[in-house]
Structure 1
Amino acid sequence: MTRRVALGVTGAASAAVMSGCGSSEAGAGGNVKQPEISSPIDMAATQDVPVGGVIKANSGDVTVMISQPAEGTFKAFSSACTHQGCTVNAQNNNIVCPCHSSNFTIEDGSVTGGPAEEPLPQYPVKVDGGRIIVG
């Protein structure tokens, strides 16, 4: 193999790896827009969110992270990482970005690790009849 061929193969492999970083596949991350919630949305039942835990909740085209940091206290955060917009997940009672490993608290969405520097945006939450209403 000539030096030129070796450099070409290495360059192509590097480009393939780098392009995967910004993938827009669901679950892999991609650049997800921060959901705009213009009117209140019924997102989940209170019983679905464990005390000290967090879930990913969907309603239509809106996805948010809902936590219950203390019994009876519910919080809702954007599902888009503030680093590069990848979709975050619930993992071990934390909010974690699968793309670059940013971590966020369930208490206030603040950054506890990773390349993200800004907290997750928070949405207003109201509990009505055992349902969590966001927005």
Structure 2
Amino acid sequence: MGGTNMENEKTTETGAVSRRLALGGAGVGVAGVTLTACGSNNSDAGKSAEGGLTEVKKPSAPTDVAAAADVPVGSALKATSGNLSVMVTQPSEGKFKAFSSVCTHQGCQLNVQNKDLACPCHASQFSIEDGSVKGGPAPEPLPEYAVEVKDGRIIVS
């Protein structure tokens, strides 16, 4: 087998990538992932809904997200329709509101906890009345969406 050391470094006799080159490439890949994780806190940079960062989705058209009867008075319901996920609240009988389900701190998906909207990542708490921050590191209130009740259904736009 002829050639330079560089050629031998890149491939073995069978044409496969050498172990040293593969490990070096893996190290570069890990470094890239690490640097990406330390990158900007842009809400467009998304991860999974299992507690990682997610993108704030705005409805492109009025979207049916839940039955009004499914939203408890004095509490909230996390509702998903297609790629839209919102926190629908009913602070008082017949008064419905909808907020983003994405925490304004670092973009984690919110849950309903003790009649509040809660972030499982860093313990931010939001009001079901107006989406304002009640506690934790969240810097801003939740974005609010327009809500209409039509034929017993919650329509968010």
Please classify the TM superposition score into its range, dividing by the shorter chain length.
Answer: 0.7 to 0.9
TM-score (norm 2): 0.69
Aligned alpha-carbon RMSD (Å): 1.6
Shift of 1:26: 2.7
Aligned partner of 1:36: which letter?
Answer: K
The number of residues matched between the two structures is 114
Shift of 1:24: 3.5
Say whether residues 1:88 and 2:89 are aligned partners: no
Output one character per residue of 1:7-26: Cα deviation in whole Å (capped at 9) or x when no partner.
Answer: xxxxxxxxxxxx8xxx9443
Written as runs of structure 1 = structure 2, the 5 A alignment for 1:1-135 is 24-27=47-50, 29-135=51-157
TM-score (norm 1): 0.80
Distance 1:133 1:76 in 2: 9
Aligned partner of 2:67: which letter?
Answer: A
Higher strand share: 1
Output one character per residue of 1:51-94: Cα deviation in whole Å (capped at 9) or x when no partner.
Answer: 00101001011110000001000000001000000001111110
Distance 1:88 1:81 in 2: 6
C-alpha contact (below 8 Å) 2:55/2:107 kept by paired residues: yes
Distance 1:39 1:74 in 2: 19
Per the alignment, residue 19 of structure 2 pairs with none
- Structure 2 unpaired stretches of 5+: 1-36, 38-45
SS in 2 for 1:47: helix
Shift of 1:132: 0.3
Distance 1:25 1:65 in 2: 17
Distance 1:37 1:61 in 2: 9
Distance 1:101 1:81 in 2: 10
Aligned partner of 2:63: which letter?
Answer: I
Shift of 1:118: 0.1
